[in-house]
Amino acid sequence: MSDHRPLAVVIGMPGAGKTRVGREAAQILDVDFTDTDIEIEKEIGMKISRYFDQYGERAFRKLESQTVINLLESCEGLLALGGGAPMNVDIREALADYTADGGKVVYLEADKREAMERASRSGNRPMLNGDADKRWMKLYEERDPVFHDIANLRVRTHGSTPRMAARKLSNMIREHIVHVTGSDIEPYDVCIGEGALNRLVEIIGDDVLRIALIHTQSVQRHSDQARALLRQAGYEVHDMVIPDAESGKTVDVAKMIWKQLGERGFTRSDAIIGLGGGATTDFAGFMAATWMRGIRYVNCPTSLLAMVDASTGGKTGINTEEGKNLVGSFYTPAGVLADLRALKTLPRDIFIEGLGEVAKSGFIRDAEILEILRDYAEDLRNFDGDAFLGSSLEDVVSELIKHTVRVKVYHVSNDLKETGLREFLNYGHTLAHAIEKLEHFRWRHGNAVAVGCVYAAELSHILGYLDQEDVDLHRSILSSLGLPTSWNGGSWDEVVALMHKDKKARGNTLRFVILDGIGHPIHLEDPPMEALVEAFDRIQTS
């Protein structure tokens, strides 16, 4: 987007607080604030109400259109439009161009009664002359559908003070949004930012009655926030607590949740929310995919690993005694809300684990991820949740999540059901899944992936695909982040037996993802056994 275009455009009904809230949000964001009504009054040298009386609405709308279109091309910071401006066809076309260029149009949704009272008190609103409340409601009925169509962001300010509403607005403007599309995918968004959970009601929609909030006890603080948002919006919320980590992804736990869904009358028009780490979002997606052959679900990841991996892409599943994620389906969520506030409560070792999947995405596609990891390795390794929000590291982590999600979305959008391209996301996972199984899931997934990436890099080098300096790059980046690069917890015979059960295997043929250079993954079928063993020896002695 052009440097001389607004950071965001705020629209809303008269009395929604566009000027007051927008001005405070601009202060929080440390940017300029421009109100089109104020700019017009400066230009005409009189109040808008007086201009209406002298020249009529048609003349004002023409002047407003010229002013808004000019400001969309020249204004920086936040731009608030007059209540009726988006009803102008020319302005709508200009806003469409602005959003197509990456711009954010935010619909400030206030409580109707609160907005009507503020609009009546303020005066200088010629469109509300006469019975102000009645005219406001008539305008609302005309404008609300148009505003919903124009805006790509919505901020509900019901019951909020102007400062609280401004904080919501500024958080949403800071958000990164990654769109997920594809031939087999109903489009959805991954929202990354502080306060992203506030979008939950918007994504669930108006047609849902019951919601199963699936979470673990360890994320109670975050589930309390989600529950409050949902109940305030009128949903019937049912808490369904499952065990932590991989112990929550079992057939027995699935049977327990299926029973609860049946007892509580869940139908195809109800919804599931998965709130927690990657195991929880995997499990919640599987429940949604299997209940009544598929109901709506939203993922709210609370760990870095879940934000960059499990919550996006539509892979759902549970574990069996024979292996990880062997029972599952491809079923995409209605949305993913990666709220950075959740990372505040994350222990350092669990945060670092998530960097294993981040680094993997850098190795297979996005070199900028590797540059960010190298530049900020010390800060990332010393992550402190208490000091995270509002720090410079928050922006770094937000960028890493955005880049990593984009890598995943690239592969998922082109190959939802993992027939080829998507398998590249499993770089490092063939050994990683074996490690997790042999360690009885005491090893965290991201740590196992880090070792698996080194193993795959060593195998790539032994077979002549990868230079030694690129293998060294794997070790240096991963170790600088505090991630493991070696493992000694099992024999080769145990490992290779589990590799034959990997989802990429075909019959008795082992298949690996290796690198033909950084950023260039390829498939490798049935590599020589001696090469596999040599690579294994190297990760045991590194």
**DSSP code per residue over 459-482:** HHHHTTSS-HHHHHHHHHHHHHTT
Give the other-Cβ count within 10 Å of 282's Cβ. Answer: 28
Identity (one letter) of the amino acid at 161? Answer: T
**DSSP code per residue over 393-437:** HHHHHHHHHHHHHHHHHHHHHH-TT-SSGGGGGGTTHHHHHHHHH
Q: Which residues contact 235 (CB under 8 A, 6 or more apart)?
A: 201, 204, 208, 209, 210, 211
Task: Confirm whether pTM is higher than 0.85.
Answer: no
Residue with tokens 């077979």: 463
**Residues 41, 43, 47, CA angle at the centre, nearest 5°?**
20
Mark the binding-site residues for Zn(2+), compressed into ranges.
357, 429, 445
Query: Pairing mode, if any, of strands 323-330 and 315-320?
Result: antiparallel
Mark the binding-site residues, compressed into ranges.
15-20, 37, 61, 83, 125, 143, 244-249, 278-282, 302-303, 315, 324, 357, 429, 445
**319 in Cβ contact with 334 (< 8 Å):** no
Mark the binding-site residues for Mg(2+), compressed into ranges.
19
**515 in Cβ contact with 521 (< 8 Å):** yes
Mark the binding-site residues for ATP, compressed into ranges.
15-20, 125
d(CA 264, CA 242): 17
**54 in Cβ contact with 43 (< 8 Å):** no
Largest CA distance in the chain: 90
Nearest of 489, 493, 498, 497 to residue 540 by alpha carbon: 489
Give the other-Cβ count within 10 Å of 348's Cβ. Answer: 14
d(CA 536, CA 533): 5
Burial of 456-477, coded b for 16+ CB within 10 Å and e otherwise, reads: bbbbbbbbebbeeebbebbbeb
d(CA 100, CA 87): 19
Dihedral angle at the C-alpha atoms of 272, 277, 278, 282, nearest 10 degrees?
-20
CA 54 to chain centre: 50
Mark the binding-site residues for substrate, compressed into ranges.
37, 61, 83, 143
**DSSP code per residue over 345-376:** G--HHHHHHHHHHHHHHHHHT-HHHHHHHHHT
SS (H, E, C) 66-78: HHHHHHHHHCCCE
d(CA 364, CA 270): 38
Token pair listed for 272: 């599931």
Positive or negative, the Cα torsion across 18, 20, 23, 27? negative
**How large is the C-alpha radius of gyration of the chain?**
26
Domains and CATH numbers, the chain: 8-174 (3.40.50.300), 176-346 (3.40.50.1970), 410-538 (1.20.1090.10)
pLDDT in tens, the chain (542 residues): 556 799 999 999 888 889 999 999 999 999 999 999 999 999 999 988 888 889 888 898 899 999 999 999 999 999 999 988 999 999 999 999 998 888 999 999 888 887 777 766 655 555 555 566 787 888 889 999 999 999 988 888 887 888 988 988 998 888 888 888 887 788 899 999 998 998 899 899 888 999 999 999 999 999 999 999 999 889 999 999 999 888 889 999 999 999 999 999 999 999 999 999 988 999 999 999 999 999 999 999 999 999 998 778 788 988 888 777 788 888 899 999 999 999 999 999 999 999 999 999 999 999 999 999 999 999 999 999 999 998 989 999 999 999 999 999 888 887 777 667 888 999 999 999 999 999 988 999 999 999 999 999 999 999 999 999 999 999 999 999 999 999 999 999 999 999 887 666 655 788 899 999 999 999 999 899 999 999 999 999 65
Dihedral angle at the C-alpha atoms of 461, 464, 468, 469, nearest 10 degrees?
-110
Residue with tokens 């930012």: 193
Burial of 334-344, coded b for 16+ CB within 10 Å and e otherwise, reads: bbbbbbbbbbb
Mark the binding-site residues for NAD(+), compressed into ranges.
244-249, 278-282, 302-303, 315, 324
d(CA 155, CA 399): 23
